[in-house]
Amino acid sequence: MSEDFKCLSCDKANYKLIEKAKNEKIETVWDRAEAMQPQCGFGEMGLCCTNCSMGPCRIVKVSEDGPKKGICGADEDTIAARNLARSIAAGSSAHSDHGRDIAHALYNAAKNPESGYKVKNPEKLISLAKEWGISTENLDIKDIAAKVAETALQEFGKPFGHLRFVDRAPEDRIDIWKKMNVVPRAIDRDIVEVLHSTHIGCDADYRNIMVAATRAALSDGWGGSMIGTELSDILFGVPEPHEIEANLGVFKEDEVNLVIHGHEPTLSEAILVAVNDPELVELAKKQGAEGINLVGMCCTGNEIAMRHGIPMAGNFFQQELAIITGAVDAMVVDVQCIMPALSQVAKCYHTKLITTSPKAKIPGAIHMQFNEEEAIESAKKIVREAVSNFKNRRGNILIPQEKSKGFVGYSNEAIINALDGVANSVAHPMGTVKPLADAIKSGVLRGAAAIVGCNNHKVLHDKGHEELAKELIKNDVLVVTTGCGAYACIKEGLMSKEATKFCGKGLATVCELVKIPPVLHMGSCVDISRILLLLSELAKFMNVDIKDLPAAGAAPEWMSEKALSIGTYVVASGVYTMLGVAPQVTGSENLTRFLTDDIKDIYGGCFDIEANPQKAAEKIIDHIEKKRKSLNI
């Protein structure tokens, strides 16, 4: 019975679909996780090395016998640190390559009318040009866009200096980074340096390996991700609050259901234009559909929800279940967090799985390359493929009833305007962080916490996010969220105005006064750069460093290398960060102690690990109260 699946997910929409999968003998992520048990202890502890072909080498910890060093002599600290550093570099590269693609799209908007991209927010473009010292005199918007895009692209490989966005951090923070030699210089360079220094026979000092890894992570947060976010806002608009629907109940039986899944808004924005093309809508009608229902999944879903109010169908662990509804005519994917298993699941239905990026092809999927130089035309071809598949539905359709409503789209501009009571558009943010600082100083808000990240079978699906968020808002801690955590929160109703019923008195009062939900949707994973900037602005306003703020981060169900990069740049920016799943480093006591303790004395932030959301909340609240005491507030 459906109820038996309570031990897999706490989202009821999933139960019927997991049962349907079982009945139809379709394997899901939960089946594969079970089949994988017990998972490799060496890998779990970060003690397996495959960095050269003399290996694989593994360090035996559980008994006196067995090797304590790899064949080259690398010990547990070196091996665990090298593995972690390489994961951080991979995570940083994923976010940063996303940022690079957005910069190319901005360049296309300026130089290539066939692309169909246009600058939607010239105010933000001009403001960034000024910040970067680019003269805008006698230049039209397209020329400015080209110059800003070129300057952004140079951030990836410039030979000298440091990343431009570093100057947005508080001075004390930059001083710490200078002292530690982790100021990010050029994004590609910082990532390459990690790969070089972790090659066999190079860096063997775990603390020094973490210096390079930290610099690469900061290149993500204050570089690649920030470029991704800022240039997306310029191209596609600064997000504003929208009320939307979320969960698998957003599919429509009588319409073409097109799921857009992955990360980069360059694709999803073009698909959105294409699904509204009258010729394609007419084609859908000719196929017997009432229209085209575009819905989002994972971070691409966050991007188009927060800019256009498109429904959010589900997070990372719901991607297979979406197809199992039998109602998905096409799932169009680009990069990151797309399970290779999708092609097998899609084969059991009529669903077309369409890959679009040369960086991410999946055997068994249809590959239709998305060409950014003629983005809209390219998107139309993809949508035509989806629409023409409606007639092939097989009848074994089960769309869950469950869906919830909530407000998404809280960019920094939107949060500042809402809290400052400024009613004008986010294109002209007039407010300041003063009201936020005042609410924190007065104690009405005890502090703020970010809940971000993925789903992971090691945590009951969505429970880590939901329970932590509920416990924090109950204690007057304002919560901001991105990524798959945002899906968990909206599905649980925490982004509705009614969610004040879960809040302590102070937070409820603030939310009712300025008409915001207690859990604010700030976007996709790259948009954690928004959180960095909000913290930075708040710290500057309060004349302190980020580490002094009553604030914390949490990734209760994280799983990706990107999350490791995020965690590292957030900690190096001074934030106490709670993980619900331990990183694969515990085989090295030295590295584990470094990440959870020693690092505090260097950056002011550190990692903590707690799987139980109630206990995690207690620790976060304790941290916030300690910071309040230090600030005498």
Binding site per annotation, positions for [Ni-4Fe-4S] cluster: 263, 299, 337, 454, 484, 525
Closest CA to 262 of 525, 450, 28, 568: 525
User: Does residue 338 belong to the site contacting ligand MSK (CB under 6 A)?
Assistant: no
Q: Is 19 exposed, middle or buried (0-12, 13-18, 19+ CB in 10 A)?
A: middle
Pairing of strands 519-523, 551-555: unpaired
What residues from 434 to 453 belong to the interface with ligand MSK (CB under 6 A)? Answer: 453
Distance CA 423, CA 226 (A): 26
CB 476 within 8 Å of CB 503: yes
Choosing from 71, 202, 430, 513, the residue that interacts with ligand SF4 (CB under 6 A) is: 71
Q: Which long-range contacts (CB under 8 A, 24 or more apart) does 339-343 make?
A: 339/29, 341/27, 341/28, 341/29, 341/32
């206990």: which residue's tokens? 615
Which residue's CB is nearer to ligand SF4, number 70 or number 504? 70
Residue 50 engages ligand SF4 in binding (rule: CB under 6 A): yes
Tokens 């995570």 correspond to 91
CB of 257 to ligand MSK, least distance (A): 20
Exposure of 372 in the CB half-sphere (CA atoms within 13 A) = 23
Compute CA distances 223 → 16, 164, 412, whole Å: 42, 8, 18
H or E stretch covering 142: helix 141-154
Binding mask of the shown chain, residues 261 to 300, with x at each position contacting ligand MSK by CB under 6 A: -------------------------------------xx-
> Is residue 54 part of the contact set for ligand SF4 (CB under 6 A)?
yes
- DSSP letter (8 states) at residue 39: P
299 binds ligand SF4 (CB under 6 A): no
- Helix (H) or strand (E) holding 609, with range, is strand 607-609
Q: Which is nearer to ligand MSK, 302 or 500 (CB)?
A: 302
Binding range to ligand SF4, per CB under 6 A, among 53-61, 387-395, 412-420, 559-567? 53-61
Q: Which helix (H) or strand (E) holds 404?
A: strand 404-408
Q: What tokens appear for 383 in the block?
A: 């949508």
Q: Least distance to ligand MSK from the beta carbon of 178, Å? A: 30
- From 44-52, 115-123, 212-220, 624-632, give the range in contact with ligand SF4 by CB under 6 A: 44-52
Binding of ligand MSK by 248 (CB under 6 A): no
In the complex with ligand MSK, the residue whose CB is nearer, 48 or 525, is 525
User: Applying CB under 6 A, does 553 fall inside the site for ligand MSK?
Assistant: no
Do 525 and 561 meet the contact criterion of CB atoms below 8 Å apart?
no
Taking the C-alpha atoms of 157, 162, 168 and 174 in order, what is their torsion angle to the nearest 10 degrees? 140
Q: Which residues, 26 to 85, sit near ligand MSK by CB under 6 A? A: none
299 binds, options ligand MSK, ligand SF4, none, Cβ within 5 to 8 A by partner type? ligand MSK
Q: How far is the CB of 201 from ligand SF4 (least distance, A)?
A: 8
Which residues within the stretch 419-438 sit at the binding site for ligand SF4 (CB under 6 A)? none
CB of 79 to ligand SF4, least distance (A): 6
The one-letter code for the residue type at 434 is K
Under DSSP, the state recorded for 221 is: I
Q: Among residues 107, 316, 370, 390, which is the contact residue for ligand MSK, using CB under 6 A?
A: 316
- Judging by DSSP bridges, how do beta strands 330-333 and 256-261 pair with one another? parallel
Q: Which does 427 bind (CB under 5 to 8 A by kind): ligand SF4, ligand MSK, none?
A: none
Q: Enter the tokens of residue 631.
A: 């600030």
β-pairing, 352-355 vs 551-555, is: unpaired
Residue 72, interface with ligand SF4 (CB under 6 A)?
yes
52 binds ligand SF4 (CB under 6 A): yes
3-class DSSP state of 369: coil
Nearest approach, Cβ of residue 555 and ligand MSK (Å): 9
- Select from 181, 194, 180, 59 the least CA-distant residue to 584: 59
Q: Is 260 in the site for ligand MSK (CB under 6 A)?
A: no
* Residue 562 engages ligand MSK in binding (rule: CB under 6 A): yes
If one asks whether residue 55 binds ligand SF4 (CB under 6 A), the answer comes out as yes
Q: Does 187 bind ligand MSK (CB under 6 A)?
A: no
**Residues across the chain:** 633
Please identify, using beta-carbon distances, which residue of 88 and 508 lies nearer to ligand MSK.
88
219 binds ligand MSK (CB under 6 A): no
Are 571 and 547 in contact by the 8 Å Cβ rule? The answer is no
Question: By rule CB under 6 A, what string of x and - marks binding of each residue 478-517 to ligand MSK?
Answer: -----xx---------------------------------
> Which lies closer to ligand MSK via its Cβ, residue 296 or residue 447?
296
Residues 519-548 that bind ligand MSK (CB under 6 A): 524-525
Q: Which chain residues interact with ligand SF4 by CB under 6 A? A: 49-52, 54-57, 70-72, 74, 79, 200
